[in-house]
Amino acid sequence: MVEINGSEGGGQLVRSALALSMLDGEPVTVTDIRGDRSTPGLKPQHAAAVRTAASVADAAIDGAVVESDSVSFAPDGLSGGHYEAEIGTAGSLTLLFDTFLPLAAAIDEPLSITAAGGTDVKWSPPLSYYRSVKLPVLRQFGVAAAVECERTGFYPAGGGRATLHLWPSTVSELDLSRRGPATSARVFSKASAALAEGEVADRQADAATDALEGLGIEPVERRTTYVTSDSPGSVLTVRVDVAGTPAGFDAYGAPSKPAEAVANEVADRIRWFRESEAAVDPHLADQLLVFLAFVGGRVPIPKVSDHVSSSLALLETFGHDVTLDRSGEAPTLVGDRPRRTD
């Protein structure tokens, strides 16, 4: 039984612990979950991830309820098929999907998970980032995965619905050690139908296009959509193609926040990224760690966030050696050793 103190690392630690437990076949207990937060314990999206993982891995579980401060998970193999996850709030579907994405390297038959909740909510990658950036990066290394959206869900009502599809995959080493100049960009702007009269999605896209041209980056694609949703909202995602490897930057709209301000937020993040030597954007920096543990590789990252630090400690607890190399111009995650068996 692997025992984890979950007081730091937030929901990311719970999701990664579940993924590692399923991949390694080792039971895990996480205690003091989100203990450093003002509202500690499992939130609806975390409890939904545990329950869904239990179905996929035929696991015995304890504590998989909202506000629980500890959870135990004992897997007994992986099964393909189709599963449903009902969050019941605007909790992030993309973060829930992160629990299962690494399973592509271990499953023997297709696996799909349909989840209901928030597709595009603050503090998490929007679905457009998942589709246009994260999955394309992973496909370069053999991960066979796709995501489709049936309905958009913004905060606070949620009401979104999306499906993650996984197929058995042979995943190669994640070699992202080189980064070239930004060659082009793709703009994805989405808003609820309630904001169509104000042309919010169009204005976000217009401002993003102007900002990219000001940075010397050519926009080669632009998609503007208005969608039916239970709550009004908007999101802007810009994919920057960097020597064949995409990086993604996003921002959400809010009441009294001009559409142009959303685009400026994204432009500031792109500008900051270009000044770094990182090969991946901040979203991917901590989300690739589980893959690094199993297939190895080198990934220069923008900074060592709290999520990165807690995830490295988690991997070590599970017996995986992923290290941080600070000798270069950018901190680099390195996974190059087999899992310890002692």
Give me the CATH number covering residue 139. Answer: 3.65.10.20
Confidence (pLDDT) at 225: 98
Of 225, 245, 274, which residue is a domain's last? 274
Confidence (pLDDT) at 301: 94
Confidence (pLDDT) at 287: 87
Asked if residue 340 belongs to a domain, the reply is no
In whole angstroms, what is the distance from residue 152 CA to residue 255 CA? Answer: 18
In whole angstroms, what is the distance from residue 75 CA to residue 241 CA? Answer: 39
Q: Are 187 and 119 in contact (CB under 8 A)?
A: no
- Which tokens go with 291? 């893959």
Cβ neighbours of 244 (radius 10 Å): 10
In whole angstroms, what is the distance from residue 176 CA to residue 169 CA? Answer: 19
262 and 161 assigned to the same domain: no
Length of the chain: 342
Q: How far does Cα 305 stand from its chain's mean position?
A: 15
Asked if residue 214 belongs to a domain, the reply is yes
Cα angle, residue 184 at apex, residues 179 and 188 outer, rounded to 5°: 115
- Which tokens go with 66? 């909202």
144 and 218 assigned to the same domain: no
Asked if residue 342 belongs to a domain, the reply is no
In whole angstroms, what is the distance from residue 153 CA to residue 159 CA? Answer: 5
Asked if residue 288 belongs to a domain, the reply is yes
Distances in Å between the Cα of 169 and the Cα atoms of 166, 242, 248, 267, 293 are: 8, 25, 24, 35, 16
262 and 295 assigned to the same domain: no
163 and 311 assigned to the same domain: yes
Asked if residue 267 belongs to a domain, the reply is yes
Of 248, 274, 300, which residue is a domain's last? 274
Asked if residue 156 belongs to a domain, the reply is yes
164 and 196 assigned to the same domain: no
123 and 264 assigned to the same domain: no
Cis amide leading into 156 (omega within 30) = yes
Asked if residue 177 belongs to a domain, the reply is no
Work out whether strand 81-86 and strand 174-175 pair parallel, antiparallel, or are unpaired.
unpaired
pLDDT tens for the chain, 342 residues: list them. Answer: 999 999 988 899 999 999 999 999 999 999 999 999 999 999 999 999 999 999 999 999 999 999 999 999 999 999 999 999 999 899 999 999 999 999 999 999 999 999 999 999 999 999 999 999 999 999 999 999 999 999 999 999 999 999 999 999 999 999 887 778 888 999 999 999 999 999 999 999 999 999 999 999 999 999 999 999 999 999 999 999 987 689 999 999 999 999 999 999 999 999 999 988 899 998 898 889 999 999 999 999 999 998 899 999 999 999 999 999 999 889 999 997 555 444
- Which tokens go with 40? 């500690």
Work out whether strand 219-227 and strand 81-86 pair parallel, antiparallel, or are unpaired.
unpaired
Confidence (pLDDT) at 337: 57
- Which residues have a catalytic role annotated? 307
96 and 123 assigned to the same domain: yes
Q: Tokens 């579980």 sit at which residue?
A: 61
Cα angle, residue 115 at apex, residues 59 and 112 outer, rounded to 5°: 65
The CATH code of the domain that includes 193 is 3.30.360.20
In whole angstroms, what is the distance from residue 188 CA to residue 266 CA? Answer: 12
155 and 42 assigned to the same domain: yes
Confidence (pLDDT) at 342: 44
pTM: 0.95
166 and 310 assigned to the same domain: yes
In whole angstroms, what is the distance from residue 58 CA to residue 76 CA? Answer: 5
Domain count, the chain: 2
Asked if residue 29 belongs to a domain, the reply is yes
* Domain of residue 36, residue span: 2-172+280-335
58: amino acid identity, one letter? D
Distances in Å between the Cα of 184 and the Cα atoms of 127, 241, 322 are: 21, 5, 32
137 and 41 assigned to the same domain: yes
Confidence (pLDDT) at 167: 99
In whole angstroms, what is the distance from residue 274 CA to residue 272 CA? Answer: 6
Q: Are 16 and 317 in contact (CB under 8 A)?
A: no
Of 222, 251, 274, which residue is a domain's last? 274
